[in-house]
Each structure stands twice: as C-alpha cells, then as structure tokens.
Amino acid sequence: MTFLEEIKNEFLRSQLEKNKQYQKTKDSWLHAMTPLEDRLKKLLDEMPEIIKSEGISLPVIQKMLKGRWRGNAHPGELGTALRKLGYKRIRVWKKPEDQFKTFWHKL
C-alpha cells in the first residue's frame, strides 16, 4: 500500500468515526426531546406482560428512562405520565410494623 493510500484510508476512518459520534449525539438529543409520556409508553410496550402484571416499581422505571437535564427521569413527572397511561399506584404492606412498597398496575 502506498503512502497516499494509507493517508486516504486514515482520512476515511476518521470521517466514519466522526459520523458515528454525530449520529450518537443526534440520537441522544432526539431521545431527550421526546416527551416523557411517549418514551414511557414505548418502554412499557417493550416490557413483558408478566413483569407488568406483577407491578412496576417506580425506581426501576426511573433508572430506565433518562431525564432531560440530569440523570434519571423525575419521579413526580414519571408518576403523572404513568397515570395518564392508565396505571394506578398500589401500596403493598408485608407486616404492620414494616414500611410499604409501591407498585404501579395497569387498570
């Protein structure tokens, strides 16, 4: 391989890498600009029915969805979006002296 061919190949590799980074950034922005309710609906549609039937824990879903400005989705906004999608929060008590656990179920 000649020196010019090596330079050309290196240039093409660098352009390909830039395109990958650009696409990743674009996808991240598009995801962040999609309303929380739409992102949540997509996540719930992909979730197996057996998991949804047992109830969904808010912290688990919160970790699966990115927030717009910081880390994870805000729990208050997530609860509102779940209600709009027809879910209801149900508390489960194990023992009277223990704390309850909260799960979201489809009505």
Stretches in the chain below the pLDDT threshold 50: none
Tokens of 68: 């717009």
- Predicted pLDDT of residue 69: 58
Q: Are 79 and 62 in contact (CB under 8 A)?
A: no
- CA 91 to CA 40: how far, in whole Å? 21
- Predicted pLDDT of residue 62: 86
Query: What are the angstrom distances between the C-alpha of 92 and each of 2, 47, 98, 105?
Result: 71, 22, 10, 12
- Predicted pLDDT of residue 36: 85
Mean pLDDT of the chain: 84
- Predicted pLDDT of residue 83: 94
- Predicted pLDDT of residue 99: 77
- Predicted pLDDT of residue 88: 94
Q: Which residues contact 56 (CB under 8 A, 6 or more apart)?
A: 44, 47, 82, 87, 103, 104, 105
